Amino acid sequence: MYVKAEDVLPEALLEEIQEYVQGVEIYIPKRPEKRLGWGERSGARQLIRRRNQEIVRRYQRGESIASLMEHFHLSYDSIRKIVSAHRKE
């Protein structure tokens, strides 16, 4: 999002910044504590968590890895990692 510095910064701060740069765009990153983790904004992280829980549940009920691979469109190694990670928890 583009915001004009003169609209949001105090005049004294704007003048101080102009000592270093003028007429260019500056990216100001969010503070680390304000950053969202991967997939938190879009909901992808939660969708993958639910998908993995479903894979584990179906595997525990006896569904084969081949069947899970076909249903979830994942590789053998991906299914094994999901199941193995659940065992470690």
Q: Is the pTM of this model over 0.75?
A: no
Are 39 and 45 a contacting pair, CB within 8 Å? yes
User: What's the average model confidence in pLDDT over 46-70?
Assistant: 96
Predicted pLDDT of residue 89: 67
Which domain does 10 fall in, by range? 5-88
**DSSP letters of 24-78?**
S----PPPGGGPPPTTTTTSHHHHHHHHHHHHHHHHHTT--HHHHHHHHT--HHH
Q: Is the pLDDT of residue 34 over 80?
A: no
**What's the number of domains the chain is made of?**
1
